[in-house]
């Protein structure tokens, strides 16, 4: 039997009392070791909620998340679990502003038994790995957006987690920097074999991965293994407003109406 | 709009209110007690049916005075005098009442009318005593009970009420009983006089003072040196209160400043839609005034509550009966509003200075680390200090606020230590091993140790020698406090006054004076000086290094006893032992043998002196007050800092930090803050002490001593402040759920 790093079983999360929001609605997913997965979907479709559940930041309303074979509902100490198994990279508010790059990378290591000098050594090693060797003693305020995300990635790797969860990590970056960060992630995924789940709006990011999961209204709309850039573009198109319009046959611009059947056929393949 | 803004940050508003309220409550309660104590004391002398009180001219307070009781008949002969009553004023230290006042009255005299009996009978014979209403309650006595006082037993024959709390907490006995009990045989403390024609009081007064230059006749209620002393009591309360208010006020400034920072964008919008600076200033100032007004009102309520609470304990009530006057409450409100104005002005100015465009671009500042940290990261180790530097203004205001509180404590305890040290040197004069004190005196100024006991102690085996000492406050022209020491020229004690010029005293009209006294009085060898109406010739000038002594003078013991109505009585006695290592067992042995004395090691003597116990109590109250107000201010600052960093705390929790570690982080910050405040406090305190010593006349007596004890106290205070200030914010921080914290805007 294949060992999945992440499994979700009928994962459901309902927010609010009275005015209910079904942020996740019976999600079943599996992610194998070493996979690099992109999660796309319109805003409010439940991507962040899914990541919070997988990352043990929040408990589901029903259903189960299984990480490395351990059901999260059986885990008593979630803090410890998080620090050992999960690495987070967030869109913003990511680094502690009063700590230098190196100190930020050391933050998760406080909950381990590593000695001070071992911590320093590992933090420096990680920062060199993400290409931030010289600027590790600067405060985040003195770094560029790309540099900050590199520190954040290094910090996520600190305790050798099984999975890295990144929520719109390139959301605030320009496209040049986004390219660099993506290259870094793909490289880390290939070199270290770390499983990565990346939530993104960005087509380029999605295209760089090998599997794209599309969310809509708290459900998995599609889950596709990417074989070519053409497929990836198609997928982008499909999840766009226009793509949705074509699928539903409603509000399609005049010029496109003629090729709707062909487009639908193409969409169905991905 | 103002109320809504305050409501937005409920915890902070509440804490600020509490900070101001504790300060104002301290002002109200302390001035109420000061007023109560002073006016109660004054009433004892003012509400009598007497027209004039005749006492020793130089006695600082009526109860320190002593006048021959043969004088009564002569006073009766003065033209215009109708009635004369000698009274003895005694003050005893009892377990139930640290200052128990016992009046000795002639049962037939008019002064007796003041004690309105609410049960029982008047005094008719010896060994009978009347108890005040509060004293009866305090000691749980009723008519018919026995009452022990200074080793004699009295029968309680009646219970009275005068409405003056010090009297109602005290007792009255027959004049002769009182003279015996307080070692005033042949003396009274003062005379109360009734004149035939009230319009001619001044003439009678003048006649008496002319005939007896050493006496002073004061109209009831007339300002006197005594009233001056009470002025001190009254201002003392206000003084302590003001310091509490200062601390609270800085806390207030912090809050307003924070709310301005938080709303930078909003203020930008208001300015952009055309609000003038003036309107912005009014908005911010309004918030701060509302806050201080509410705090002031709350404080007044707490203050009144404290005053009422005291009534529950009869022992305290007899001494401290708070008197609340409308002026006092108005004063408290004005102070609170002033606080609001001062606390709001700077933040309002800051708000008005914001340029609209920049303000609207302001990012809430949660990611900002401040200029100082950015530039000096390398030199600031640890995130605690960097976090404090993120909001330098807030940190500074907090440090100064708490530093002020701590500063007062440092100054006062250093002075108290200094005083204790001086006193110990003074009492330990001539390398005494033991100090003998009057067991029943509540105050050194009223101590009267029997000289015969001294002579008996001298003959005990193991005792090498004794030194008799008399100490009285008097005044000399140019020196309001002139301590007069009586020393036996043949004993070792007199050698303690190291002669600088001239020689040691020998005869009854000889005096040697201290160096400071000589300078202040502008007197030299051979000149004469008048004390209590008697002239003495200066035969020597000495210097001991103890300011009490160097601002005073020494006359022979016999002369001092006569001059101060202390025939064969002493204030203190020093004992030298054959074997000083036996001091402790000797002390116990002597106490067992002579029940009327307490014997202490020279170094421990002040612990057994009521004056110093009182000082300790005042310091204790001040420490408690600082802990309350400072703790609230501290907690507020830490709470703001935690809320600002909600998202950061969310990140820390997300990467796996346990609650414990978060709590630790906040506590370390709060301790760092309190430590810095304590350092600031030590600085402020040293400055204050230096300032105090510059105060004319009183300053000479003040000498700060920075013993390790002072610093230990401050360190303990900082630790406690840091902990109370940090615990709740730390708990709040640790309760933050990671995802909610991350979503927090
Ligand atoms: N803590 C919360 N309380 C209430 N509703 C929430 C909460 N978090 C998310 N939601 C709602 O759940 C839905 C999914 O949100 P989210 O997972 O953040 O979407 P995405 O990340 O795909 O934009 C949205 O409708 C959002 O408003
Ligand atoms: Mg999201």
Q: Each residue of A17-36: pLDDT tens digit?
A: 778 889 999 999 999 988 88
Closest to B535 (Cα-Cα) out of B515, B501, B503, B507: B507
Q: Report the run of H or E that residue A237 belongs to, with start and end.
A: helix A229-239
Least CB–CB distance from B656: residue in A97, A111, A139: A111
Q: Torsions phi, psi of B172, nearest 5?
A: -130, 135
Q: Average pLDDT of chain B?
A: 80
For residue B162, the 8-state DSSP code is: -
Most confident of B206-210, B321-325, B354-358: B206-210
Q: What residues have CB less than 8 Å from B595, skipping those under 6 apart? A: B151, B439
Residues of chain B positioned with their CB less than 8 A from the CB of A142: 374
Which of B88-97, B273-282, B363-372 has the weakest average pLDDT?
B363-372
Most confident of A146-155, B40-49, B163-172, B643-652: A146-155
Q: Look at A96 and B648 and tell me if their CB atoms are within 8 Å.
A: yes
**Residue B226 reports pLDDT greater than 70:** no
- The b-or-e profile of A68-98 (16+ CB within 10 A means b, else e) is eeeebeeeeebbebbbbbbbbbbbebbbbbb
State the average pLDDT over residues A161-174: 83
Quickly list DSSP for B77-128. HSTTEEEEEEEEEEEE--SS-SSEEEEEE-TTSGGGGGSEEEEE----STTE
Handedness of CA B606, B608, B611, B612 (dihedral sign): positive
pLDDT band per the 50, 70, 90 thresholds, residue A196: very high
**Contacts A–B by Cβ distance under 8 A:** 88
CA-proximal residue: ligand 1, atom 3 (nearest): A15
Q: What is the pLDDT of residue B649?
A: 86
- Going from the Cα of A182 to the center of ligand 1, the distance in angstroms, rounded, reads 26
**Residue B179 reports pLDDT greater than 80:** yes
Residues of chain B positioned with their CB less than 8 A from the CB of A88: 651, 654-655
Q: Is B266 exposed, middle or buried (0-12, 13-18, 19+ CB in 10 A)?
A: middle
Residues of chain A positioned with their CB less than 8 A from the CB of B650: 93
Q: What is the pLDDT of residue B696?
A: 61
Q: What is the pLDDT of residue B595?
A: 84
Q: Torsions phi, psi of B362, nearest 5?
A: -55, 135
Q: Look at A52 and B739 and tell me if their CB atoms are within 8 Å.
A: yes
Q: Which residue has the tokens 């508003």?
A: B13
Q: Are strands B171-174 and B100-105 parallel, antiparallel or unpaired?
A: parallel
Q: Does B659 touch chain A (CB under 8 A)?
A: yes
Least CB–CB distance from B738: residue in A57, A100, A111: A57
**Residue B385 reports pLDDT greater than 90:** no
How close, in Å, is residue B740 to chain A by CA atoms? Answer: 10
CA–CA dist B544, B513 (Å, integer) = 11
**Residue B619 reports pLDDT greater than 80:** no
Name all residues whose Cβ lies below 6 A of ligand 1. A 15-16, 21, 23, 41, 43-49
CA-proximal residue: ligand 1, atom 6 (nearest): A15
CA-proximal residue: ligand 1, atom 16 (nearest): A46
State the average pLDDT over residues B52-68: 73
CA–CA dist A186, A192 (Å, integer) = 10
Q: Does B367 touch chain A (CB under 8 A)?
A: yes
Q: What is the pLDDT of residue A1?
A: 46
State the average pLDDT over residues B512-534: 85
Q: State percent of chain B over pLDDT 90.
A: 8
State the average pLDDT over residues B245-258: 77
**Residue B29 reports pLDDT greater than 90:** no
Residues of chain B positioned with their CB less than 8 A from the CB of A111: 656-658, 661
- Going from the Cα of A50 to the center of ligand 1, the distance in angstroms, rounded, reads 10
CA–CA dist B580, B635 (Å, integer) = 52
State the average pLDDT over residues A189-213: 82
Closest to B472 (Cα-Cα) out of B553, B574, B573: B553
Q: Torsions phi, psi of A12, nearest 5?
A: -130, 135
Closest to B1 (Cα-Cα) out of B351, B348, B285: B285
Q: Go through chain A and tell me how many residues it has.
A: 270
Residues of chain A positioned with their CB less than 8 A from the CB of B374: 139, 141-142
Q: Which residue of B has its CA nearest to A83?
A: B656
Q: What is the pLDDT of residue B565?
A: 76
**Residue B512 reports pLDDT greater than 90:** yes
Ligand closest in space to the Cα of A167: 2
Q: Does A90 touch chain B (CB under 8 A)?
A: yes
Q: Is A159 exposed, middle or buried (0-12, 13-18, 19+ CB in 10 A)?
A: buried
CA–CA dist B363, B536 (Å, integer) = 80
Compute, in degrees rounded to 10, the torsion defined by CA atoms B600, B577, B471, B594.
Answer: 60
Q: Look at A82 and B366 and tell me if their CB atoms are within 8 Å.
A: no
Most confident of B506-510, B567-571, B738-742: B506-510
Q: What is the pLDDT of residue A78?
A: 83
Query: Which ipTM did the prediction report?
Result: 0.76
Q: Report the run of H or E that residue B193 belongs to, with start and end.
A: strand B190-195
State the average pLDDT over residues B655-671: 88
CA–CA dist B133, B121 (Å, integer) = 14
Q: Torsions phi, psi of A253, nearest 5?
A: -60, 150
Comparing B693 with B396, the larger pLDDT belongs to: B396
Q: Does A99 touch chain B (CB under 8 A)?
A: yes
Q: Are strands B510-514 and B534-542 parallel, antiparallel or unpaired?
A: parallel
Handedness of CA B540, B541, B545, B547 (dihedral sign): positive
Compute, in degrees rounded to 10, the torsion defined by CA atoms B98, B100, B101, B103.
Answer: -150
State the average pLDDT over residues B53-62: 70
Within 10 angstroms of residue B657's Cβ, the number of other Cβ atoms is 23
Q: Report the run of H or E that residue B247 belongs to, with start and end.
A: helix B225-262
- The b-or-e profile of B421-439 (16+ CB within 10 A means b, else e) is bbbbbbbbbbebbbbbbbb
Q: Torsions phi, psi of B152, nearest 5?
A: -120, 155
Closest to B632 (Cα-Cα) out of B9, B21, B5: B21
pLDDT band per the 50, 70, 90 thresholds, residue B317: low
In contact, A75 and A87? CB cutoff 8 Å: no
Select from B372, B390, B653, B656 the residue whose CB has the most chain A CBs within 10 Å, as the one to mutate to test that interface.
Answer: B656
**Residue B156 reports pLDDT greater than 90:** yes
Convert the pLDDT of each residue in B635-650 to its tens digit: 888 888 888 888 888 8
For residue B50, the 8-state DSSP code is: -
Q: What is the pLDDT of residue A6?
A: 93
CA–CA dist B373, B368 (Å, integer) = 10
- Our CA angle for B168, B87, B66, nearest 5°, is 120
CA–CA dist B660, A5 (Å, integer) = 29
Residues of chain B positioned with their CB less than 8 A from the CB of A110: 657, 661
| Among A21, A25, A221, residue to substitute to test ligand 1 (most atoms within 8 Å of Cβ) | A21
Q: What is the pLDDT of residue B366?
A: 46
Q: Look at B657 and A107 and tell me if their CB atoms are within 8 Å.
A: yes
**Residue B600 reports pLDDT greater than 90:** no
Quickly list DSSP for B423-456. HHHHHTTTT-SEEEEETTBSSGGG--EEHHHHHH
CA–CA dist A152, A172 (Å, integer) = 14
Backbone torsion region of residue B565, taken as left when φ is above 0, otherwise alpha when ψ lies between -120 and 50, otherwise beta? left
Q: In a 3-state reduction of DSSP, which class is residue B313? A: coil
CA–CA dist A200, B112 (Å, integer) = 96
Q: Go through chain B and tell me how many residues it has.
A: 745
- Going from the Cα of A29 to the center of ligand 2, the distance in angstroms, rounded, reads 18
**Residue A269 reports pLDDT greater than 90:** no
Handedness of CA B559, B560, B561, B562 (dihedral sign): positive
Q: Does A139 touch chain B (CB under 8 A)?
A: yes
Most confident of B129-143, B294-308, B542-556: B129-143
- Going from the Cα of A166 to the center of ligand 2, the distance in angstroms, rounded, reads 11
**Residue B203 reports pLDDT greater than 60:** yes
Q: In DSSP terms, which residues pair with B86 in a beta bridge? A: B191
pLDDT band per the 50, 70, 90 thresholds, residue B277: confident
Select from A21, A48, A79 the residue whose CB has the most chain B CBs within 10 Å, as the one to mutate to test that interface.
Answer: A79
For residue B49, the 8-state DSSP code is: S
Select from A84, A85, A97, A102 the residue whose CB has the most chain B CBs within 10 Å, as the one to mutate to test that interface.
Answer: A97
**Residue A266 reports pLDDT greater than 80:** no
Residues of chain A positioned with their CB less than 8 A from the CB of B737: 58
Closest to B295 (Cα-Cα) out of B513, B23, B91, B564: B23
Q: What share of chain A is helix, strand, coil (3-state, %, to 5)?
A: 45, 25, 30
CA-proximal residue: ligand 1, atom 4 (nearest): A15
In contact, B217 and B105? CB cutoff 8 Å: no
Q: State percent of chain B over pLDDT 70.
A: 82
State the average pLDDT over residues A59-80: 90
State the average pLDDT over residues A45-53: 91
Q: Does B366 touch chain A (CB under 8 A)?
A: yes
In contact, A246 and A198? CB cutoff 8 Å: no
- Going from the Cα of A3 to the center of ligand 2, the distance in angstroms, rounded, reads 28
State the average pLDDT over residues B113-141: 90
- Our CA angle for A41, A43, A44, nearest 5°, is 105
**Residue A247 reports pLDDT greater than 80:** no
Q: Report the run of H or E that residue B541 belongs to, with start and end.
A: strand B534-542
For residue A1, give Cα distances in angstroms to A4, A194, B348: 9, 20, 69
Q: Does B738 touch chain A (CB under 8 A)?
A: yes
Q: Does B652 touch chain A (CB under 8 A)?
A: yes
- Going from the Cα of A44 to the center of ligand 1, the distance in angstroms, rounded, reads 6
Ligand closest in space to the Cα of A43: 1
Least CB–CB distance from B651: residue in A94, A103, A141: A94
Q: Does B377 touch chain A (CB under 8 A)?
A: yes
Q: Is A1 exposed, middle or buried (0-12, 13-18, 19+ CB in 10 A)?
A: exposed
Domains recognised in chain A with CATH numbers:
4-226 (3.40.50.300), 240-270 (no CATH)
Q: Look at B659 and A90 and tell me if their CB atoms are within 8 Å.
A: no
Least CB–CB distance from A98: residue in B390, B658, B659: B390
How close, in Å, is residue A144 to chain B by CA atoms? Answer: 14
CA-proximal residue: ligand 1, atom 17 (nearest): A46
For residue B417, give Cα distances in angstroms to B330, B614, B704: 36, 13, 7
CA–CA dist B108, B104 (Å, integer) = 12
| Among B736, B739, B742, B743, residue to substitute to test ligand 1 (most atoms within 8 Å of Cβ) | B743
Which of A64-78, A218-232, B495-509, B719-733 has the weakest average pLDDT?
A218-232
Q: Which residue has the tokens 């907090």?
A: B398
Which of B159-173, B621-635, B678-692 has the weakest average pLDDT?
B621-635
């Amino acid at each position: 039997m294949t060992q999945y790093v992440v499994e979700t079983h009928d994962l459901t999360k309902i927010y609010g009392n009275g005015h209910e929001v079904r942020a996740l609605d019976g999600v079943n997913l599996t992610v194998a070791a070493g996979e690099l997965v992109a999660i796309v979907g319109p805003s409010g479709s439940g991507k962040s909620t899914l990541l919070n559940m997988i990352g043990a930041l929040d408990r589901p309303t029903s259903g189960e998340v299984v990480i490395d074979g351990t059901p999260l509902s059986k885990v008593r100490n979630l803090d410890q679990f998080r620090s050992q198994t999960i690495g987070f990279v967030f869109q913003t508010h990511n680094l502690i502003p009063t700590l230098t790059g190196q100190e930020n990378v050391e933050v998760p290591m406080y909950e381990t038994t590593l000695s001070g000098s071992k911590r320093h050594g590992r933090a420096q090693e990680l920062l060199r790995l993400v290409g931030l060797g010289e600027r590790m003693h600067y405060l985040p305020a003195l770094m560029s957006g790309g540099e900050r995300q590199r520190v954040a990635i290094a910090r996520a790797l600190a305790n050798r987690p099984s999975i890295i969860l990144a929520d719109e990590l390139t959301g605030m970056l320009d496209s040049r920097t986004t390219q660099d960060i993506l290259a870094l992630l793909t490289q880390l995924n290939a070199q270290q074999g770390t499983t990565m789940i990346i939530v993104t709006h960005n087509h380029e990011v999605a295209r760089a991965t090998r599997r794209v999961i599309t969310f809509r209204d708290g459900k998995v709309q599609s889950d596709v293994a990417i074989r070519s850039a053409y497929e990836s573009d198609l997928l982008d198109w499909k999840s766009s407003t226009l793509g949705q319009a074509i699928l539903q046959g409603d509000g399609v611009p005049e010029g496109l109406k003629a090729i709707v059947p062909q487009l639908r056929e193409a969409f169905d393949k991905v | 709009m103002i109320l809504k803004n305050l409501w937005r940050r409920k915890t902070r508003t509440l804490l600020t209110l509490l900070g101001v309220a504790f300060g104002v409550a301290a002002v109200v309660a302390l001035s109420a007690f000061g007023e109560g104590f002073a006016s109660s004391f004054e009433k004892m002398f003012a509400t009598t049916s007497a027209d004039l009180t005749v006492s020793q001219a130089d006695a600082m307070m009526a109860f320190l005075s002593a006048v021959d009781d043969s004088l009564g008949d002569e006073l009766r002969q003065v033209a215009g005098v109708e009635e004369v009553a000698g009274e003895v004023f005694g003050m005893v230290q009892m377990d139930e009442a640290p200052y128990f006042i016992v009046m000795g009255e002639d049962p037939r005299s008019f002064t007796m009318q003041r004690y309105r009996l609410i049960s029982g009978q008047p005094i008719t014979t010896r060994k009978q005593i009347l108890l005040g209403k509060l004293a009866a309650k305090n000691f749980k006595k009723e008519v018919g009970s026995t009452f022990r006082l200074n080793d004699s037993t009295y029968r309680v024959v009646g219970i009275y009420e005068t409405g003056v709390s010090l009297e109602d907490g005290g007792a009255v006995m027959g004049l002769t009983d009182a003279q015996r009990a307080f070692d005033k045989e042949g003396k009274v403390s003062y005379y109360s006089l009734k004149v035939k024609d009230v319009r001619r009081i001044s003439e009678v007064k003048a006649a008496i003072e002319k005939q007896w230059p050493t006496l002073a006749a004061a109209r009831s209620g007339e300002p006197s040196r005594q009233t001056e002393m009470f002025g001190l009591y009254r201002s003392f309360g206000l003084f302590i209160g003001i310091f509490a208010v200062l601390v609270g006020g800085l806390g207030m400034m912090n809050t307003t400043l924070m709310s301005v920072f938080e709303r930078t964008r909003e203020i930008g919008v208001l300015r952009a839609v055309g609000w003038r600076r003036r309107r912005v200033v009014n908005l911010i100032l309004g918030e701060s005034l509302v806050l201080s007004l509410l705090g002031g009102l709350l404080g007044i309520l707490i203050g009144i509550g404290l005053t009422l609470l005291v009534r529950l304990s009869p022992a305290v009530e007899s001494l401290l009966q708070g008197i609340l006057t409308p002026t006092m409450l108005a004063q408290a409100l004005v102070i609170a509003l002033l606080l609001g104005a001062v606390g709001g002005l700077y933040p309002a100015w800051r708000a008005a200075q914001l340029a609209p465009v920049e303000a609207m671009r302001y990012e809430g500042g949660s990611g900002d680390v401040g200029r100082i940290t950015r530039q000096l990261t390398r030199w600031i180790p640890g995130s605690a200090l960097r976090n404090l530097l993120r909001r330098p203004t807030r940190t500074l205001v907090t440090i100064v606020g708490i530093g002020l509180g701590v500063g007062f404590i440092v100054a006062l305890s250093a002075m108290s230590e200094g005083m204790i040290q001086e006193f110990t040197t003074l009492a330990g004069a001539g390398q005494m091993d033991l100090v003998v004190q009057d067991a029943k005196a509540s105050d050194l100024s009223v101590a009267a140790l029997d000289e015969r006991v001294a002579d008996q102690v001298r003959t005990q085996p193991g005792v090498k020698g004794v030194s008799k000492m008399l100490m009285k406050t008097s005044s000399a022209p140019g020196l309001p406090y002139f301590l007069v020491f009586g020393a036996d020229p043949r004993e070792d004690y007199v050698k303690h006054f190291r002669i600088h010029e001239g020689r040691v005293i020998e005869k009854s009209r000889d005096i040697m004076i201290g160096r400071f006294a000589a300078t202040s009085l502008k007197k030299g060898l051979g000149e004469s000086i008048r004390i209590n109406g008697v002239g003495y010739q200066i035969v020597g000038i000495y210097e001991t290094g103890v300011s009490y002594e160097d601002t005073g003078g020494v006359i022979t013991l016999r002369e001092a006893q006569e001059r101060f109505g202390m025939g064969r009585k002493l204030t203190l006695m020093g004992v030298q032992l054959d074997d000083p290592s036996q001091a402790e067992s000797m002390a116990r042995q002597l106490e067992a043998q002579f029940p009327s004395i307490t014997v202490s090691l020279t170094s421990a003597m002040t612990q057994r002196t009521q004056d110093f116990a009182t000082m300790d109590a005042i310091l204790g109250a001040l420490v408690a007050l600082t802990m309350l107000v400072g703790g609230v201010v501290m907690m507020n600052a830490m709470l703001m800092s935690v809320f600002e960093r909600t998202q950061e705390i969310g990140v820390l929790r997300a990467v796996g930090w346990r609650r414990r570690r978060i709590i630790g982080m906040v506590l370390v910050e709060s301790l760092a803050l309190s430590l810095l405040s304590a350092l600031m406090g030590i600085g402020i305190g040293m400055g204050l002490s230096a300032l105090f010593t510059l105060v004319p006349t009183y300053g000479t007596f003040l000498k700060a001593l920075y013993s390790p004890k002072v610093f230990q106290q401050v360190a303990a205070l900082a630790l406690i402040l840091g902990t109370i200030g940090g615990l709740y914010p730390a708990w709040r921080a640790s309760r933050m759920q990671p995802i909610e914290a991350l979503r927090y805007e």
